[in-house]
Amino acid sequence: MTASSAPVSPWPARLRGLAGALISLALTLLGLLFVTFIISRVVPIDPVLSIMGQRASDAQIEEARVALGLDKPLWHQFLIYVGNMLRGDLGTSIGSGEPVLQAVARVFPATLELATLATIFGVLAGVPAGVLAATRPGSLADHLVRLVGLMGYSMPVFWLGLIGLLLFYGILGWVGGPGRLDALYDMQFQFEVTPVTGMILLDTALAGKWDMFANAFSHIVLPAALLGYVSMAYISRMTRSFMMNELGQEYITTARVKGMPEWRVIWVHAMRNVLVPLITVIALSYAYLLEGSVLTETIFAWPGLGSYITEALGRNDMPAVLGGTVVVGVAFITLNLVSDLLYRLVDPRAR
Amino acid sequence: MFLSPILRHAGVAATAALMLGTAPGVLLAETPPDTLVIADAIDDIVSLDPHEAYEFSGLDVVNNVYDGLVELDPSQPTGPQPGLAESWSVSEDGMTFTFKMKPGITFSSGNPVTAADAAYSLQRAVKINKSPAFILNQFGWTAENVDQMVTADGDTVVLKTDKAYAPTFLYNCLTAGVASIVDMKTVMEHDANGDMGNEWLKTNSAGTGAYVLKSYKPNEGYILEARAGHWRGDAAMKAVFMRHVPEAATQRLLLEKGDIDIARELTPVDIEGITGNADLKIQKDVGGQIFYLSFNQKNELYKNQKFLEAMRYAIDYQGLAETVLKGSMVPHQAFLPNGYLGALEDTPFSFDVEKAKALLAESGVTAPKIVMDVRNATDRMEMAQSIQNTFGQAGITVELNIGEGAEQLKRYRARQHDATLQSWGPDYPDPQTNAGSFAWNDNNADDASTGTLAWRNSYDPGPLNDMTAAAVMERDGDKRAAMYRDLQEQHRTTSPFIVMFQIGYNSAMRGNVSNFFTGGAIDSAAYWLVTK
């Protein structure tokens, strides 16, 4: 079932597929830019006034409007916008005057680190839970997995974050508090470690500062576990349904009849096929964490992309908001592409 | 059955590793004894160049890293004290000021502080022309003439002004961050394309303050390191670590756990929550921001003095401050915040429905209706709802027009509002900053470019214009203060403004922290006096 006969001429088909993927990628990007641009122009906020505030004279305001290119027709502004984006110029933050690309490069690793760890937690917990539920449908374990998953779906992350912080940091003292490190370690980190990746766990490990690494881990473990919980809820549900589907197939029965150990039937034979759709699920939930951790980042004082965009929004700093949004969009599209490629790798039929 | 035996063992090992990693032993419970750790929302920082910084958080850094010719005493910020200048004098005609530099002071680079540094700094602030430059422009200093108006002569700096302003006006403005003295040599070494080191100074420091800026990461925090052998004496806190923590609930938790020493952005609810915690204390201050109602006199209704007076008695100042605002604001009824030269501390108006009704009857206005613009922020909407309620009790109908801040500002600036609930923060530590806006409008035409708050409300201050103009020129400091008191007395009983509140600061800190000064209404935070 899994191995199909080799295609007659794989290359042209593969190239065609790649070209198609690239074209759809370009169109998606253009669409993303169009939507963000339109949003920035229809919001009922005068970008100039929000920068200049109470004091500026009318002449100064007009001057700023021209400087920002806001006096040009909309289509012209859009062309300039796309042109800038293609050159990697995400604009300049109105508030800080810092290029958005530079700011994003600084804050994105923090989000990436959090989302990656959360996804690892989510997969490590979600896949076995889903498999467990699928192999014992209707059992207590199945109901438990469903209940835990449902809670993950329905509880607001904001609330979970606050309660988690209060319980595990405030009362029990098991984990580090908000922020990426304790104050003392944070200061040492800034002076003693040269950031390579911007991800503290990696940077401290690379520098061999294991006490700092442990401290960083104690800080990231709670927000990552909470976000991981949310993605686990999704992953376990999907794993369960994919696995149920596979376990009903003939090849599984055949394998069992041949006397193969059950764990091999599940984890090797069935899992190989479950993995195909599961990769897309995991990639999507990973992408969701990259943009969806906004509230978690605020509560945990996590200096990532989510906090950056939220705070920019609070200041009506549209270039920063849009630049951040575009980066999230690109991350989404990239992950989609990666899951597409992995899908081809794992599923021989897609080769 | 369900797991392979190998996986099962790996799972146990992973769980054990996780638990070890989060064991309490790895955590530090307290902040280091010689380090001050503060949590605040500092995303308002635009630049740490002292001649560009113009936001609360940025000015806090500037205050600790730089000094001016004259300074405010953080514990008693009443009037200018010697800073880098040891003495000063003003010429007979009142247009030339001479400052004698203190000897023996060095910048953090080790370079000695000279009069040339001081002159260069003031020239630089005018030339790079960033937001706060207008504070110095008021003395007739422009990019073209500032090299002649501000000069160094041996160990003195000579400042010339275009008119004989009140000397206190100049001294007060020189205490602002924009008048900070920078290390000319170091700054010029970092000049890039003629920016006078602006790009470099945004994230570095070159001053004489008690601290040196060691690191600044936007939206994350900054670290200040104390200078050994500082001219003011060594600071007890060898380092100050500011963490950007936007969420008040998170700040509170950090403070309760002892992971920070001071939390500066707690909400009234959080303050209430920690009251009674023996490990913590709360320090109350006032800031410079004031909250007011104003009425557009294009509507003839708001020229009726009795009607205006009726409204002044139809606001529950005390009740609002205590219940809704819970100490985040204190009643204040004149346009100069407490802490300013000439501020009026009394509150002559109180909530009195009967008196308001009687005044309304006297005014001859029947069934008045007000449309009030209010920004969509929680505290403002709550304030507006209370006003709507108490005005209603007095027989005045209020319709609230709630909207986004920038849009409301647009209407206000275009004189399109009927009434509005607004706030105003002073620009520099001299009474002229507010007098020049609340009580000054020399051209009430729609196309005039005056732009002052008086103009926005189509308010012609009449004789108050002359009083404002005279006060900024008065050379006797005491007389000048009296003039502002008189000006405000008249303003609060005749203008279409009702000043209601001054913002309160609630700084919560660990019990062992002492001598932390926020700077109140006219200055910024001082870290060098803090002990714990």
Confidence of residue B449 (pLDDT cuts 50, 70, 90): confident
Any CB–CB contact under 8 A between A251 and chain B? no
Integer Cα distance of B224 and A108 in angstroms: 25
Q: Which residues of B, range 37-66, sit inside 8 Å of A by Cβ?
A: 37, 39, 43-47
Mean per-residue pLDDT for A113-132? 92
Nearest in space to B380 (alpha carbons), one of B316, B417, B325: B325
Nearest residue of A to residue B37, measured between CA atoms:
A183
The Cβ-side half-sphere exposure at B366, using a 13 Å CA radius, reads 0
Mutation target for B interface from A106, A107, A184: give the one with most B CBs within 10 A. Answer: A184
Nearest residue of B to residue A307, measured between CA atoms:
B219
Lowest-confidence pick of A89-98, A114-123, A206-215, A330-339: A89-98
Nearest in space to B302 (alpha carbons), one of B368, B357, B358: B368
Asked if B404 lies within 8 A of A132 by C-beta distance, the reply is: no
Q: How far lies A122's CA from each of A282, A296, B78, in Å? A: 9, 16, 59
Nearest residue of A to residue B423, measured between CA atoms:
A54
Residue for token digits 């001082």? B526
Query: B45-200: CATH homologous superfamily?
Result: Dipeptide-binding Protein; Domain 1 (3.90.76.10)
pLDDT in tens, B453-507: 999 999 999 999 999 999 999 999 999 999 999 999 999 999 999 999 999 989 9
Integer Cα distance of A56 and B202 in angstroms: 23
Instruction: Determine how many CB atoms are found less than 10 A away from the CB of residue A259.
Output: 6
Q: Which two tokens stand for residue B323?
A: 């219940």
Q: How far lies B411's CA from each of A309, B296, B401, B418, in Å? A: 28, 11, 12, 10
| Whether the predicted pLDDT of B25 surpasses 60 | no
Chain A: give the shortest CA distance to residue B457, in Å.
14
Amino acid at B286: V
Catalogue the long-range contacts made by A341-346 (C-beta closer than 8 Å, 24 or more residues apart): A342/A279, A342/A283, A343/A276, A343/A279, A343/A280, A346/A272, A346/A275, A346/A276, A346/A279
Integer Cα distance of B173 and B88 in angstroms: 15
Task: Map out the domains of chain B as residue ranges.
Answer: 45-200, 286-505
Any CB–CB contact under 8 A between B239 and chain A? yes
pTM assigned to the model: 0.85
Any CB–CB contact under 8 A between A206 and chain B? no
* Helical ranges in chain A per DSSP H: 10-42, 47-52, 58-67, 74-86, 100-135, 140-154, 157-164, 183-192, 200-207, 210-247, 250-257, 262-264, 271-292, 294-299, 305-314, 318-346
Size of interface A-B (CB pairs under 8 A): 151
Chain B: give the shortest CA distance to residue A62, in Å.
13
Any CB–CB contact under 8 A between A169 and chain B? yes
Chain B contacts of A55, Cβ < 8 Å?
427
Chain B contacts of A58, Cβ < 8 Å?
449, 451
Any CB–CB contact under 8 A between B4 and chain A? yes
Integer Cα distance of A219 and B25 in angstroms: 13
DSSP state of B112: B
Mutation target for B interface from A190, A211, A298: give the one with most B CBs within 10 A. Answer: A190
Q: Please, are residues B113 and B154 in contact by the beta-carbon 8 Å criterion?
A: no
Chain A: give the shortest CA distance to residue B218, in Å.
8
Nearest in space to B70 (alpha carbons), one of B152, B199, B166, B167: B167
First-to-last alpha carbon distance for chain B, in angstroms, is: 60
Q: ipTM of this complex > 0.85?
A: no
Amino acid at B479: K
Give the containing element (helix H, strand E) for B242. strand B239-244
Q: Which residues of A, range 12-31, sit inside 8 Å of B by Cβ?
A: none
Q: How far lies A78's CA from each of A73, A284, A331, in Å? A: 9, 29, 22
Asked if B3 lies within 8 A of A303 by C-beta distance, the reply is: no
The pLDDT, as a whole number, for residue A8 is 52
Print the SS3 string covering B7-41: HHHHHHHHHHHHHHHCCHHHCCCCCCCCEEEEEEC
Task: Map out the domains of chain A as residue ranges.
Answer: 18-89, 108-350
Give the containing element (helix H, strand E) for B505. strand B497-510
Domain boundaries A108-350, CATH class: mainly alpha
CATH 3.10.105.10 applies to domain B286-505:
yes
Chain B: give the shortest CA distance to residue A52, in Å.
10
Confidence of residue A2 (pLDDT cuts 50, 70, 90): very low
Asked if A173 lies within 8 A of B241 by C-beta distance, the reply is: no
Q: How far lies B493's CA from each of A155, B196, B310, B391, B462, in Å? A: 54, 48, 11, 18, 14
Q: Is B258 helix (H, G, I), strand (E, B) or coil?
A: coil
The pLDDT, as a whole number, for residue B457 is 96
Integer Cα distance of B213 and B242 in angstroms: 11
Nearest in space to B284 (alpha carbons), one of B322, B320, B254, B329: B329
Asked if B243 lies within 8 A of A264 by C-beta distance, the reply is: no
The pLDDT, as a whole number, for residue A82 is 85
The pLDDT, as a whole number, for residue A329 is 85
Rg over alpha carbons for chain A, rounded to the nearest Å, is: 24
Asked if B257 lies within 8 A of A184 by C-beta distance, the reply is: no
Q: Which residues of B, range 17-36, sit inside 8 Å of A by Cβ?
A: 18, 21-24, 26-28, 31-32, 35
Any CB–CB contact under 8 A between B149 and chain A? no
Confidence of residue A92 (pLDDT cuts 50, 70, 90): confident
Asked if A183 lies within 8 A of B245 by C-beta distance, the reply is: no
> Helices A10-42 and A318-346, interaxial angle, to 10°?
160
